[in-house]
């Protein structure tokens, strides 16, 4: 900085030649300038011209402020950071890394704008599992954990704004835009009337029903399985989704799959059971139910069900 001011000084007065005789460093800079000034006077430069040059130099010096060391926080990600799709009533967390890329500590850190359905995990900065504190040292990083917990469907947008003292008494801020989409939870429906009636089936025989399973919600049905059945009313082949059934552990929104259920009476009489389709709707575990009934007879009735789709 000082050498730069000397160059400006010499340039203004047009006396570069005077500097060639002097070795310039920070320790003798002003001595050199004084020597140049004396030589200028000796060489018929007026006091007025010299004062004018020194006045300009002072203004230049005042305008060139020294570099100030400051904290500089950066939040990971690219605007907007997407939390993806969440079932209404559910929750998803995202971890952000905060880096102090500055040369001073960031102090008095606070979040100033985040609001529902976005919030710090657990309710407060830095979020449950976050490692940031109220001070982030220079050249270090830490984490915050933000939750997206929608209670209605649609697109939600917000901004994480962290205010902090940059180490020089200035309150500054850094932000990162966030967004998330909320949809209705999964909703599984089982086709057919309630109860599903297998009719009369000969003891030792079998009646089969194919049931359609539809997800009428906006979120995937996850961890799907079948249960609740015991002999003589069971899944075909003994397990979900039954031989010939197409259901798996996941059913997309609006999609349909099938399960195959059989009635194998081992004695005469009326048998009842309840088919359970178990799944996670994106918020909580659910069960869709359908009652089943059938009659075991010694002689097949004209109403017996051999195989049908309900």
Residue boundaries of the structural domains of the chain: 2-63, 73-183, 188-309
Contact 176/113 with Cβ under 8 angstroms? no
pTM, 2 dp: 0.71
Burial label for 22, CB within 10 Å (0-12, 13-18, 19+), is middle
Contact 88/148 with Cβ under 8 angstroms? no
How much is the pLDDT for 205? 95
What are 151-183's pLDDT values in tens digits? 999 999 999 999 999 999 999 999 999 999 999
Whether the domain at 73-183 and the domain at 188-309 fall into the same CATH topology: yes
pLDDT-derived band of residue 112, with 50, 70 and 90 as boundaries?
confident
How much is the pLDDT for 19? 41
Task: Check pLDDT > 90 for residue 4.
Answer: no
Q: CA–CA separation, 201 vs 296, rounded Å?
A: 5
Task: Check pLDDT > 70 for residue 253.
Answer: yes
How much is the pLDDT for 113? 85
Among the listed ranges 16-25, 38-47, 248-257, 280-289, which one has the minimum average pLDDT value? 16-25
Span 227-236, average pLDDT: 96
How much is the pLDDT for 68? 67
CB atoms within 10 A of CB 79: 11
The CATH superfamily assigned to 188-309 is Immunoglobulins (2.60.40.10)
Task: Check pLDDT > 80 for residue 307.
Answer: no
Q: pLDDT exceeding 70 applies to what percent of the chain?
A: 75
How much is the pLDDT for 3? 47
Mean pLDDT of the chain: 85
What are 177-230's pLDDT values in tens digits? 999 999 999 999 999 999 999 999 999 999 999 999 999 999 999 999 999 999
**CATH topology classification for 73-183:** Immunoglobulin-like (2.60.40)
What are 17-73's pLDDT values in tens digits? 444 444 444 444 444 455 555 554 455 555 566 555 555 555 555 555 556 689 999
How much is the pLDDT for 286? 98
Among the listed ranges 110-114, 256-260, 306-310, which one has the minimum average pLDDT value? 306-310
Task: Check pLDDT > 70 for residue 150.
Answer: yes
């Amino acid at each position: 900085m000082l050498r730069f001011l000397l160059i400006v000084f010499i340039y203004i007065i047009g006396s570069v030649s005077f500097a060639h005789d002097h070795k310039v460093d920070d320790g003798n800079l002003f001595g050199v300038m004084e020597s140049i000034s004396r030589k200028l006077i000796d060489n018929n430069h007026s006091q007025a011209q010299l004062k004018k040059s020194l006045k300009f130099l002072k203004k230049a010096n005042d305008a060139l402020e020294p570099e100030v060391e400051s904290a500089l926080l950066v939040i990971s990600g690219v605007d907007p950071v997407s939390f993806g799709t969440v079932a209404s009533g559910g929750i998803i967390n995202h971890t952000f890394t905060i880096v102090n890329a500055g040369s001073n500590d960031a102090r008095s850190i606070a979040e100033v704008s985040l609001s529902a359905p976005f919030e710090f995990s657990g309710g407060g900065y830095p979020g449950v599992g976050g490692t940031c504190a109220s001070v982030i040292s220079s050249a270090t990083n830490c984490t915050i954990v933000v939750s997206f917990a929608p209670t209605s469907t649609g697109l939600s947008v917000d901004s994480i704004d962290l205010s902090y003292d940059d180490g020089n008494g200035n309150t500054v801020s850094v932000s990162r835009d966030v967004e998330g989409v909320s949809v209705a939870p999964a909703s599984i429906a089982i086709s057919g009337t309630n109860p599903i009636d297998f009719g009369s089936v000969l003891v030792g025989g079998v009646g089969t029903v194919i049931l359609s399973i539809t997800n009428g919600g906006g979120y995937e049905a996850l961890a799907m399985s079948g249960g609740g059945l015991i002999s003589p009313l069971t899944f075909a082949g003994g397990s979900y989704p039954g031989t010939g059934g197409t259901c798996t552990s996941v059913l997309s929104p609006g999609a349909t799959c099938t399960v195959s259920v059989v009635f194998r009476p081992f004695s005469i009489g009326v048998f009842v059971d309840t088919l359970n389709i178990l799944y996670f709707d994106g918020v909580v575990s659910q069960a869709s139910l359908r009652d089943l009934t059938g009659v075991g007879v010694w002689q097949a009735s004209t109403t017996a069900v051999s195989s049908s789709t309900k």
